Amino acid sequence: MSARAGDHGRTRQMEVYLAGLRGRRGVVPFDADKLETIGRRRMGREAYAYIAGGAGLESTMAANRAAFERHRIVPRVLRDVSQRDTSVTLFGRTLPTPFLLAPIGALELANREADLAVGKAAAAEGVPLIFSSQASKPMEVVAAAMGDAPRWFQLYWSTSDELVASFVRRAEACGCEAIVVTLDTTMLGWRARDLDLAHLPFAVGKGMAQYTSDPVFTAMLRPEPLERSSRPTPAAVRSLLRAKASYPGGLRANLRSDLPLAAVRQFLATYSRPSLSWADLPQLRELTSLPILLKGILHPDDARSAVGAGIDGIVVSNHGGRQVDGAIASLDALPAVADAVGGRIPILLDSGVRGGADAFKALALGASAVLIGRPYAYGLALAGEQGVREVIRNFAADFDLTLGLAGCTAVSELGPERLESIP
């Protein structure tokens, strides 16, 4: 995807309709709900529950969508919208569209190629990918497949400062252009779907590739032989085999190794730090000169503190409703956060973004860009790299057409006056 001044929404539309004349349909559904429904069929029960689910009653997931519904675009007409520019500039880099791919962990649940397929798709479309701390492929592997396409790194702050430093060093070395610290997941939310299935991907070694490829993490491993006191159940054997299969080298190489289980134990003991506070941030600043963003900000006072702490950007997010059930919708939190920030640093938003109109609304309310979350995971489940590419292209085209049809020719024209909010 090249620079974004032009008419690419219509180009994409015509590509789809002309392919239809030859009897070909898009590889992923265009409707967000259908994307999820069809994506679900390609995943196991546990995988779908982990990706689709949210915390508690999932009321925050519903609130995210309701907030987008409550804001309506008020189109203007007769404004020559034949050429449109959907580009935005973030930290000195111009992006073709206001979209980035959110960090999503354990993507091997959707497709074996996981982050590698996503990285290739993001690079091909010129959309930055935010590597997850919980990725299924090491960041170096994905970066190598992306050429010089933009990528950022998302950090879960573990209890080991040495591990944090190692992750940041590796992210810099593989060309990440920003560090996104996720603050809303110092503990896992209470996720009913996963609890019902008693399934956590990390407990079977999935989504741990950044750790098992890390020299600091692997030096911490203390393999202990399994206790043989009681006869293991078939399920316990299966879980153990899954952990061994997920560990570098694969099942065969790890059959006799105690490292995979040691890695799971070590990970569960250290992956997050509930004691994290504002006082820890200067330490990260000392580790890197890359822009630092805080992900999971929903209160204007926290946004003010972030600016005061010299943070470079904010991601307004409730983690797709996966953490605090009943939390405010990201879009509802955005105006007050934007007001508090007063344009001093860029604000990104995610949670519930399902199409071009949602991006339009978030940008109108003060975001500089939005993150695509679950929809690309469903694209990955459906058709690997190609599925993710199509999801990105569909978001981009939908946004471009919405922009023009609303009477705008550039992202800079978006402001709250473009929207009406329905009580």
Ligand X SMILES: Cc1cc2nc3c(=O)[nH]c(=O)nc-3n(C[C@H](O)[C@H](O)[C@H](O)COP(=O)(O)O)c2cc1C
Minimum CB separation of residue 88 from ligand X in Å reads: 18
Amino acid symbol at 69: E
Report which secondary-structure segment, H or E, holds 114.
helix 114-125
Task: Tell me whether residue 95 or residue 298 sits nearer to ligand X (CB atom).
Answer: 298
Among 102, 208, 347, 369, binds ligand X (CB under 6 A): 102
Q: Who's near 277: CB < 8 A, 6+ residues apart? A: none
Q: Which two tokens stand for residue 376?
A: 């690309």
Q: Which of 266, 291, 287 is nearest to 166 (CA)?
A: 287
Active site residue 299: no
Q: Which of 9, 39, 98, 105 binds ligand X (CB under 6 A)?
A: 105
- Is 351 a binding residue for ligand X by CB under 6 A? The answer is yes
Answer yes or no whether residue 317 interacts with ligand X by CB under 6 A.
Answer: yes
The helix, strand and coil proportions of the chain, stated in percent and rounded to the nearest 5, come to 50, 10, 40
Examine residue 134 and tell whether it contacts ligand X (CB under 6 A).
yes
Residue 60 engages ligand X in binding (rule: CB under 6 A) = no
**Least distance in Å: CB of 261 to ligand X?**
22
Q: Is 319 in the site for ligand X (CB under 6 A)?
A: yes
Instruction: Pick the stretch among 73-81, 96-104, 121-129, 396-404 that binds ligand X (CB under 6 A).
Output: 96-104
DSSP letter for 150, please: -
Choices 226-234, 270-278, 298-306, 345-353; region in contact with ligand X by CB under 6 A: 345-353
352 near ligand X, judged by CB under 6 A: yes
Closest distance between ligand X and the C-beta of residue 168, in Å?
Answer: 15
Of 61 and 408, which has the nearer Cβ to ligand X? Answer: 61
By DSSP bridging, strand 369-372 and strand 99-101 are parallel
Rounded CA-CA distance 117/348 in Å is 24
Nearer to ligand X, 32 or 408 (CB): 32
By CB under 6 A, the residues from 288 to 307 that bind ligand X are 295
The residues, ordered by sequence, that sit 6+ positions from 268 with a Cβ below 8 Å of its Cβ are 202, 203
Under the binding rule (CB under 6 A), the answer on residue 132 touching ligand X is yes
Q: Could you give the CA distance from residue 326 to residue 184 in angstroms, rounded to a whole number? A: 14
C-beta closer to ligand X: residue 35 or 146: 35
Q: What is the largest CA-CA distance in the chain?
A: 79
Per CB under 6 A, the segment of 25-33, 258-266, 318-326, 394-402 that binds ligand X is 318-326
Cross-strand partners of 419 = 73
- Which residues inside 176-235 make contact with ligand X, applying CB under 6 A? 182
Q: Does 43 interact with ligand X (rule: CB under 6 A)?
A: no
Residues in binding contact with ligand X, number by CB under 6 A: 22
56 binds ligand X per the rule CB under 6 A? no
Q: Tell me how crowded residue 268 is: count the other CB atoms within 10 A of its CB.
A: 13
Query: Residues 142-161 vs ligand X: string with x where CB under 6 A?
Result: ------------x-------
Strands 419-421 and 369-372: unpaired
Residue 276 Cβ, how far from ligand X at the closest point, in Å? 14
Nearer to ligand X, 186 or 409 (CB): 186
CA angle 51, 57, 59 (to 5 degrees): 85
Closest CA to 99 of 296, 313, 353: 353
Task: Name the 3-class secondary structure at 358.
Answer: helix
Region of 346 (left: φ > 0; alpha: ψ -120 to 50; beta: rest) is beta
CB of 408 to ligand X, least distance (A): 24
With contacts defined by CB under 6 A, name the span among 300-308, 346-354, 355-363, 395-403 that binds ligand X.
Answer: 346-354
* Cα 27 to Cα 317: distance, rounded to the nearest angstrom: 29
Which residues are at the interface with ligand X (CB under 6 A)? 50-51, 102-105, 132-134, 154, 182, 295, 317, 319-320, 322, 350-353, 373-374
| Catalytic residue positions, numbered | 319
